[in-house]
A and B are shown apart, each in its own frame.
Chain A
Amino acid sequence: MITRFKLIFLALIILCGSGCSSLPFKNIDYVSLDGLNPNALRQEFQEQLAQNLEIINSIVFQYKWQSFSALGYTQIDLKSDTFRVSCLSPVGIKLFELTGDRQEVKPIFVLKELLQRGDLPRAVGEDIRRIYFDFTPLPVAKIESEKYKITFTQPSGKGELQYVFAGKNHWLVEKHYLEKKHKLWSVYYYDYELHNGKLYPTNLILKHHRFGYNLIIRLKEVP
C-alpha cells in the first residue's frame, strides 16, 4: 500500500501535506422502511440508475493524515461493465488515462514517474469497479429487512458483497465487501442527483479498510 500511496502522491507533486478526515458529507436521514418490498425496491433503483455515466468528479485521496486532490473525467457503461478514465491535476496536467472492463485494464497514458513506481492502472481499475460495478444486488441475493434498512448479500469472489438500502428515497447507501466476516472495503453513497431522468451518485466515499486509505468523490459536472 505504501508503494501505491507514493506513486499517486508523486503524481500530484505534493509533499508534506496535511489534512483531516472528518466526514465531508451529510449523514443519511434514516426513515422507517416498514412495508417496503425489497425486490421492488431493488428493481426500482436499478431502473432509475443511469446505465451510462459520463462524469467529471473531484477525487480526494486520503491516507493517514495526508491528502491530495485530482480531477477525473470518467465514462462508465454499467451494461457492458466497461470504463474509461482520465485523471488530471487541478491545473489540468494529465496524470494517467486508461480504459478497462471487469477483467483487465489498458493504460493509454501514465506519467513515466508513476509507471516506475507500481501498477497504478490496476489499482485505479479496482477502485472504479468497487464503486461503480455491481451497483445493484442480484435477484438471488439474500435479503434481510430491518426497520431502517434493507440489506442484500450475495457471493462475490472469495467473499460476499453486502448492499444496504436506506433513507427517504431508499436508494443504495452502502456497499461492503467481506471475506470471512471481515470488511475489506466499503463504499458509502451519500447523495444522488437526477440528470436526464437518471440517477447519478454525487457524493461518495470508498474506504479501503485493509489498506487504510479513503477516496472521497464528488460529482462536479455531467458534461
Chain B
Amino acid sequence: MKKFILLLFITLNITPLYAGTPAKEIDTILGALQEKMAKVSTIQTDFIQEKNLALFKAKLILKGKIYIQKPGMLAWRVFSPLRYTLIISGSNISQWDEDSKAVQSVSMARNPSFQVAIDQMQNWFSGTYKAMQGDYDINLISQHPLKLEFVPKEKSLARNFIQRVAVLFQTDDQYIKEINILEKSGDQTLLKFINPQLNQIISPQAWEVKA
C-alpha cells in the first residue's frame, strides 16, 4: 500500500551528484531539516502537479492548493482539470468533486491500508525524513539549494514502483519547493509548491469539503 501514496509524488530523472553520501553527514542534514520543518505549524500553498505518463506524449497537469495544519489536518484542493477536494482531519477523510457532486467519507479506522497511505503522505509533507531512512537510501544532491534524493532500499515495497524521489527545498530550507518522482514504469511526476505561506492562520473555509 505504500506504493499507493508514493505514486502521488511523481518525478524527474535526476542523476545523483553525491551518490552514497556518508550516513553521518545525511543524519546531520536530516536532523537540521527536521528541526526547521518542525517549527512550521501551518502551510498553505498553490501547487502544480505535472504527470508525464510514459504511454502518452503530452503531460497531464493538475493545479490546486494544499493546506496543512499540524497535527493531522490536510486539505488537497484540485482546481483543474477537475474541481476536487480531499480533506483529512485526524482519522476522518472526506472528499468531493464537481462532477459527481457527491461528498464521500472514509473511516480511517475501517480502512487500515488508507491509514498507511496517509501516514506516508504526512511523512513527506511534515519533513520527518529521518524516519524514512529504513526504507530509503538518502543522498545529498546539492546543499544550496538543499536537494535530497531518496532511493528505495532493496527490501522496500516502494522499490517495486519507484526508482527515486528527489526533494528540492526552498532557499531557507523551511519547506519543500518540489518533489519529483521517477517511477519504474517510466512515468514521471513533478509536484511544485508555489507561493507557500508558512505559519499563517488558515481560513476555516479551507476545511470545507465542498468547493
A contact set with B: CB distance below 8 Å: 13-20, 24, 54, 56, 58, 60, 62, 66-69, 71, 73, 75, 84, 86, 88, 90-94, 97, 99, 108-109, 111, 113, 216, 218, 220-221, 223
Q: Choose, from B98-106, B124-132, B163-171, B198-206, the stretch at the interface.
A: B98-106
**Do A68 and B55 form a contact, CB below 8 Å, given A92-B62, A92-B189, A220-B81?**
no
Q: How many B residues face the partner with a CB closer than 8 A? A: 40
Contact B55 A86 (CB under 8 A): yes
Shortest 3 CB-CB contacts between residues of A and residues of B: A223-B58, A19-B102, A90-B84
7 A-B pairs whose Cβ atoms sit less than 8 Å apart in the complex: A58-B81, A69-B99, A75-B55, A90-B78, A91-B76, A99-B55, A111-B4
B53 sits at the interface (CB 8 A): yes
CA distance A20 to B5 in the complex (A): 29
The interface residues of chain A, by DSSP majority, are classed as strand
Contacts of A75 in B (CB 8 A): 55-56
The answer to whether A221 and B81 have CB atoms under 8 Å apart is yes
Report yes or no: B102 in contact with A92, Cβ–Cβ below 8 A.
no
C-alpha spacing A90/B49, complex, angstroms = 11
CA distance A15 to B82 in the complex (A): 20
**Which of A15, A99, A108, A216: most chain B CB closer than 10 A?**
A15
Tell me the bound Cα distance from A68 to B102 in angstroms: 7
Least CB distance, A109 to chain B, in whole angstroms: 6
Contact of A71 among B5, B59, B60 (CB under 8 A): B60
